[in-house]
Structure 1
Amino acid sequence: MIELIYFSEKQSGAPAYQVIQFNPGEPWQIVDGDEVIGSMQKQEGLWSLHALSSVPDGLLTGIANLIEQQHFNRLPAKIKEHWESYVLEVITQNDALYLIVCKEGIDFDRFKKLFWGYIGELIKDQWQIRFRVYNVDMSDDFEVLVN
Protein backbone atom coordinates (compact mmCIF):
# COMPACT_ATOMS: atom_id res chain seq x y z
CA MET A 1 0.00 0.00 0.00
CA ILE A 2 1.17 3.52 -0.82
CA GLU A 3 -0.37 6.49 0.95
CA LEU A 4 0.22 10.12 0.03
CA ILE A 5 -1.23 13.33 1.44
CA TYR A 6 -2.32 16.05 -0.98
CA PHE A 7 -2.80 19.59 0.31
CA SER A 8 -5.03 21.61 -1.99
CA GLU A 9 -3.59 25.08 -2.56
CA LYS A 10 -6.63 26.23 -4.54
CA GLN A 11 -9.14 25.77 -1.72
CA SER A 12 -9.38 27.99 1.34
CA GLY A 13 -8.14 26.35 4.51
CA ALA A 14 -5.83 24.08 2.48
CA PRO A 15 -7.81 20.85 2.87
CA ALA A 16 -5.83 17.64 2.87
CA TYR A 17 -6.77 14.52 0.94
CA GLN A 18 -5.41 11.03 1.42
CA VAL A 19 -4.41 9.39 -1.84
CA ILE A 20 -4.09 5.62 -1.43
CA GLN A 21 -3.08 2.83 -3.79
CA PHE A 22 -3.64 -0.57 -2.18
CA ASN A 23 -1.83 -2.68 -4.80
CA PRO A 24 0.45 -1.84 -7.74
CA GLY A 25 -1.52 -1.05 -10.89
CA GLU A 26 -4.78 -0.46 -9.05
CA PRO A 27 -6.51 2.93 -9.13
CA TRP A 28 -5.61 5.53 -6.52
CA GLN A 29 -8.41 6.14 -4.02
CA ILE A 30 -9.04 9.77 -3.01
CA VAL A 31 -10.22 10.13 0.56
CA ASP A 32 -11.57 13.30 2.17
CA GLY A 33 -11.80 12.76 5.91
CA ASP A 34 -13.33 9.32 6.20
CA GLU A 35 -15.14 9.38 2.84
CA VAL A 36 -13.85 8.01 -0.47
CA ILE A 37 -14.74 10.74 -2.97
CA GLY A 38 -13.34 9.05 -6.05
CA SER A 39 -10.54 7.18 -7.71
CA MET A 40 -8.03 8.02 -10.38
CA GLN A 41 -5.85 6.00 -12.68
CA LYS A 42 -3.30 6.61 -15.40
CA GLN A 43 -3.97 4.71 -18.61
CA GLU A 44 -2.04 5.19 -21.83
CA GLY A 45 -0.31 8.23 -20.35
CA LEU A 46 -3.49 10.06 -19.34
CA TRP A 47 -5.00 10.45 -15.89
CA SER A 48 -8.73 9.91 -15.45
CA LEU A 49 -10.89 10.68 -12.43
CA HIS A 50 -13.97 8.70 -11.46
CA ALA A 51 -15.63 10.91 -8.87
CA LEU A 52 -18.34 9.63 -6.57
CA SER A 53 -19.33 13.21 -5.76
CA SER A 54 -18.33 16.64 -7.01
CA VAL A 55 -14.66 17.43 -6.59
CA PRO A 56 -12.91 20.80 -6.54
CA ASP A 57 -11.46 22.18 -9.78
CA GLY A 58 -7.84 21.24 -10.22
CA LEU A 59 -7.95 18.27 -7.86
CA LEU A 60 -7.16 15.71 -10.59
CA THR A 61 -4.24 17.76 -11.90
CA GLY A 62 -2.86 18.46 -8.43
CA ILE A 63 -3.02 14.85 -7.27
CA ALA A 64 -1.66 13.56 -10.59
CA ASN A 65 1.32 15.92 -10.25
CA LEU A 66 1.90 14.73 -6.67
CA ILE A 67 1.92 11.07 -7.75
CA GLU A 68 4.15 11.75 -10.76
CA GLN A 69 6.73 13.54 -8.59
CA GLN A 70 7.19 10.60 -6.24
CA HIS A 71 10.56 8.89 -6.36
CA PHE A 72 8.97 5.43 -6.47
CA ASN A 73 7.63 6.28 -9.93
CA ARG A 74 11.04 7.19 -11.32
CA LEU A 75 13.20 4.59 -9.58
CA PRO A 76 12.18 1.57 -11.74
CA ALA A 77 13.08 3.44 -14.93
CA LYS A 78 16.42 4.52 -13.44
CA ILE A 79 17.25 0.93 -12.50
CA LYS A 80 16.33 -0.39 -15.96
CA GLU A 81 18.28 2.39 -17.65
CA HIS A 82 21.40 2.00 -15.50
CA TRP A 83 21.52 -1.80 -15.84
CA GLU A 84 19.91 -2.03 -19.28
CA SER A 85 21.83 -5.14 -20.28
CA TYR A 86 20.96 -6.95 -17.02
CA VAL A 87 17.44 -5.96 -15.95
CA LEU A 88 14.31 -7.25 -17.66
CA GLU A 89 11.66 -5.83 -15.34
CA VAL A 90 11.28 -3.75 -12.17
CA ILE A 91 8.02 -4.18 -10.29
CA THR A 92 7.04 -1.70 -7.60
CA GLN A 93 5.26 -3.54 -4.79
CA ASN A 94 5.08 -0.37 -2.71
CA ASP A 95 7.40 2.57 -2.03
CA ALA A 96 9.62 0.37 0.16
CA LEU A 97 9.74 -2.88 -1.87
CA TYR A 98 10.83 -3.46 -5.46
CA LEU A 99 11.09 -6.77 -7.29
CA ILE A 100 13.70 -6.96 -10.03
CA VAL A 101 13.80 -9.70 -12.66
CA CYS A 102 17.02 -10.06 -14.63
CA LYS A 103 17.42 -10.91 -18.29
CA GLU A 104 18.24 -14.36 -19.56
CA GLY A 105 21.88 -15.24 -20.13
CA ILE A 106 23.47 -12.67 -17.80
CA ASP A 107 26.17 -13.41 -15.22
CA PHE A 108 23.88 -13.21 -12.17
CA ASP A 109 26.75 -13.21 -9.64
CA ARG A 110 28.43 -10.32 -11.47
CA PHE A 111 25.17 -8.38 -11.51
CA LYS A 112 24.76 -9.01 -7.79
CA LYS A 113 28.14 -7.37 -7.11
CA LEU A 114 27.35 -4.44 -9.43
CA PHE A 115 23.92 -3.93 -7.90
CA TRP A 116 25.13 -4.10 -4.30
CA GLY A 117 27.89 -1.63 -5.08
CA TYR A 118 25.80 1.03 -6.78
CA ILE A 119 22.09 0.88 -5.87
CA GLY A 120 22.57 3.28 -2.97
CA GLU A 121 23.75 5.93 -5.44
CA LEU A 122 20.46 5.79 -7.38
CA ILE A 123 18.37 6.46 -4.28
CA LYS A 124 17.87 10.22 -3.97
CA ASP A 125 15.44 10.31 -1.06
CA GLN A 126 16.72 8.35 1.87
CA TRP A 127 14.18 5.88 3.21
CA GLN A 128 14.41 2.17 3.79
CA ILE A 129 13.94 0.26 0.53
CA ARG A 130 14.15 -3.49 0.01
CA PHE A 131 15.11 -4.86 -3.40
CA ARG A 132 14.41 -8.52 -4.16
CA VAL A 133 16.38 -9.49 -7.24
CA TYR A 134 15.68 -12.67 -9.22
CA ASN A 135 17.23 -14.33 -12.22
CA VAL A 136 14.95 -14.84 -15.20
CA ASP A 137 13.64 -18.27 -14.17
CA MET A 138 13.42 -17.36 -10.45
CA SER A 139 15.85 -20.14 -9.49
CA ASP A 140 18.31 -17.74 -7.84
CA ASP A 141 17.81 -14.51 -5.94
CA PHE A 142 19.29 -12.02 -3.53
CA GLU A 143 17.99 -9.17 -1.43
CA VAL A 144 19.40 -5.72 -0.75
CA LEU A 145 18.18 -3.35 1.95
CA VAL A 146 19.08 0.32 1.46
CA ASN A 147 18.63 2.77 4.33
Structure 2
Amino acid sequence: MSPQTRAVENWTLQPLTDFVREASARLVLVLTPSGQVLAQSGFSRAVDVMSAAALAAAIVASTSELARQLRQAPFAALSHQGPKTGFFLSTFMTERGTLAVLAVYDLDVSSLGLVQLFYEQLAAELKSATPRGAVPKQVLAADFERELTDSLNTLFGR
Protein backbone atom coordinates (compact mmCIF):
# COMPACT_ATOMS: atom_id res chain seq x y z
CA MET A 1 0.00 0.00 0.00
CA SER A 2 1.29 3.44 -0.93
CA PRO A 3 1.57 5.88 1.98
CA GLN A 4 -0.91 8.05 0.07
CA THR A 5 -3.52 5.29 -0.30
CA ARG A 6 -6.14 5.52 2.41
CA ALA A 7 -9.63 4.16 2.97
CA VAL A 8 -12.49 5.08 5.25
CA GLU A 9 -14.08 1.72 4.37
CA ASN A 10 -11.39 -0.98 4.74
CA TRP A 11 -13.01 -3.33 2.21
CA THR A 12 -12.11 -0.83 -0.54
CA LEU A 13 -8.39 -0.72 0.24
CA GLN A 14 -6.98 -3.83 -1.47
CA PRO A 15 -8.98 -3.46 -4.70
CA LEU A 16 -7.95 0.22 -4.88
CA THR A 17 -4.28 -0.58 -4.22
CA ASP A 18 -4.31 -3.23 -6.97
CA PHE A 19 -6.00 -0.86 -9.43
CA VAL A 20 -3.51 1.96 -8.80
CA ARG A 21 -0.58 -0.40 -9.36
CA GLU A 22 -1.96 -2.20 -12.42
CA ALA A 23 -3.45 0.83 -14.21
CA SER A 24 -0.54 3.13 -13.26
CA ALA A 25 -3.07 5.71 -12.07
CA ARG A 26 -1.73 8.83 -10.40
CA LEU A 27 -4.85 9.88 -8.46
CA VAL A 28 -7.93 7.77 -7.68
CA LEU A 29 -11.11 8.29 -5.68
CA VAL A 30 -13.76 5.71 -4.81
CA LEU A 31 -16.85 7.64 -3.81
CA THR A 32 -20.61 7.70 -3.63
CA PRO A 33 -22.57 9.75 -6.17
CA SER A 34 -23.13 12.34 -3.44
CA GLY A 35 -19.36 12.86 -3.11
CA GLN A 36 -18.68 10.86 0.07
CA VAL A 37 -15.16 9.45 -0.32
CA LEU A 38 -14.69 5.81 0.64
CA ALA A 39 -11.03 5.58 -0.43
CA GLN A 40 -8.37 7.63 -2.18
CA SER A 41 -4.89 7.25 -3.58
CA GLY A 42 -2.33 9.84 -4.58
CA PHE A 43 -3.83 12.90 -2.96
CA SER A 44 -1.72 14.66 -0.35
CA ARG A 45 -4.11 17.42 0.75
CA ALA A 46 -7.63 17.08 2.12
CA VAL A 47 -8.80 20.11 0.16
CA ASP A 48 -7.78 18.39 -3.09
CA VAL A 49 -9.74 15.26 -2.17
CA MET A 50 -12.81 17.30 -1.29
CA SER A 51 -12.60 19.37 -4.49
CA ALA A 52 -12.11 16.33 -6.72
CA ALA A 53 -14.95 14.46 -4.98
CA ALA A 54 -17.33 17.41 -5.33
CA LEU A 55 -16.47 17.82 -9.01
CA ALA A 56 -16.79 14.08 -9.70
CA ALA A 57 -20.18 13.98 -7.95
CA ALA A 58 -21.35 16.99 -9.98
CA ILE A 59 -20.25 15.33 -13.23
CA VAL A 60 -22.04 12.09 -12.30
CA ALA A 61 -25.21 14.04 -11.46
CA SER A 62 -25.13 16.18 -14.60
CA THR A 63 -24.45 13.30 -16.98
CA SER A 64 -27.16 11.21 -15.28
CA GLU A 65 -29.63 14.05 -15.75
CA LEU A 66 -28.59 14.52 -19.37
CA ALA A 67 -29.15 10.79 -19.99
CA ARG A 68 -32.55 11.02 -18.30
CA GLN A 69 -33.56 13.94 -20.51
CA LEU A 70 -32.43 11.97 -23.56
CA ARG A 71 -34.57 9.06 -22.29
CA GLN A 72 -31.68 6.66 -22.20
CA ALA A 73 -29.78 4.67 -19.61
CA PRO A 74 -27.07 6.56 -17.71
CA PHE A 75 -23.77 6.92 -19.53
CA ALA A 76 -21.37 4.09 -18.69
CA ALA A 77 -18.25 6.24 -18.37
CA LEU A 78 -16.71 9.58 -19.16
CA SER A 79 -13.13 10.30 -20.11
CA HIS A 80 -11.08 13.29 -21.20
CA GLN A 81 -7.47 13.56 -22.26
CA GLY A 82 -5.19 16.55 -22.41
CA PRO A 83 -1.65 16.69 -23.79
CA LYS A 84 -0.13 14.95 -20.73
CA THR A 85 -2.94 13.75 -18.48
CA GLY A 86 -6.27 11.99 -18.78
CA PHE A 87 -9.12 11.16 -16.46
CA PHE A 88 -11.73 8.43 -16.38
CA LEU A 89 -14.97 8.56 -14.38
CA SER A 90 -17.45 5.71 -14.16
CA THR A 91 -20.14 4.33 -11.86
CA PHE A 92 -21.27 0.83 -10.95
CA MET A 93 -23.82 -0.80 -8.66
CA THR A 94 -23.01 -2.61 -5.42
CA GLU A 95 -25.08 -4.08 -2.57
CA ARG A 96 -24.90 -0.63 -0.98
CA GLY A 97 -25.95 1.26 -4.09
CA THR A 98 -24.01 3.14 -6.72
CA LEU A 99 -20.30 3.88 -6.38
CA ALA A 100 -18.12 6.02 -8.63
CA VAL A 101 -14.43 5.81 -9.47
CA LEU A 102 -12.42 8.80 -10.65
CA ALA A 103 -8.96 7.94 -11.99
CA VAL A 104 -6.37 10.45 -13.20
CA TYR A 105 -3.44 9.07 -15.19
CA ASP A 106 -0.35 10.37 -16.97
CA LEU A 107 -0.33 9.54 -20.67
CA ASP A 108 3.40 8.75 -20.65
CA VAL A 109 2.89 5.79 -18.24
CA SER A 110 -0.71 4.68 -18.82
CA SER A 111 -3.57 4.88 -21.30
CA LEU A 112 -7.34 5.04 -21.36
CA GLY A 113 -7.44 1.40 -22.48
CA LEU A 114 -5.35 0.25 -19.53
CA VAL A 115 -7.42 2.28 -17.08
CA GLN A 116 -10.68 0.92 -18.54
CA LEU A 117 -9.41 -2.66 -18.45
CA PHE A 118 -8.36 -2.50 -14.81
CA TYR A 119 -11.43 -0.44 -13.87
CA GLU A 120 -13.60 -3.42 -14.83
CA GLN A 121 -11.53 -5.58 -12.48
CA LEU A 122 -11.72 -2.93 -9.72
CA ALA A 123 -15.51 -2.68 -10.04
CA ALA A 124 -15.88 -6.47 -9.88
CA GLU A 125 -13.61 -6.69 -6.81
CA LEU A 126 -15.43 -3.87 -5.03
CA LYS A 127 -18.81 -5.48 -5.81
CA SER A 128 -17.70 -8.78 -4.29
CA ALA A 129 -16.01 -7.08 -1.30
CA THR A 130 -19.00 -4.88 -0.42
CA PRO A 131 -20.30 -5.85 3.03
CA ARG A 132 -23.68 -7.57 2.68
CA GLY A 133 -26.66 -6.02 4.38
CA ALA A 134 -24.63 -3.27 6.00
CA VAL A 135 -25.88 0.07 4.76
CA PRO A 136 -23.82 3.06 5.92
CA LYS A 137 -25.74 5.31 8.28
CA GLN A 138 -26.91 8.67 7.05
CA VAL A 139 -24.87 11.58 8.36
CA LEU A 140 -27.08 14.08 10.13
CA ALA A 141 -26.39 17.79 9.73
CA ALA A 142 -25.48 17.98 13.42
CA ASP A 143 -22.85 15.26 12.95
CA PHE A 144 -21.58 16.42 9.55
CA GLU A 145 -18.51 18.35 10.68
CA ARG A 146 -17.37 15.62 13.06
CA GLU A 147 -18.00 12.88 10.46
CA LEU A 148 -16.15 14.88 7.81
CA THR A 149 -13.20 15.49 10.12
CA ASP A 150 -13.07 11.81 11.14
CA SER A 151 -13.20 10.67 7.50
CA LEU A 152 -10.50 13.11 6.40
CA ASN A 153 -8.29 12.11 9.33
CA THR A 154 -8.69 8.46 8.34
CA LEU A 155 -8.00 9.22 4.67
CA PHE A 156 -4.79 11.04 5.57
CA GLY A 157 -3.64 8.81 8.42
CA ARG A 158 -3.93 11.39 11.14
With the length of structure 2 as denominator, give the TM-score of the two structures: 0.28
Q: Could you say which structure has the larger radius of gyration?
A: 1
Q: Which has the higher contact order (CA 8 A, sep 6+)?
A: 2
Q: Which one has the bigger helix percentage?
A: 2
Q: Which one has the bigger strand percentage?
A: 1
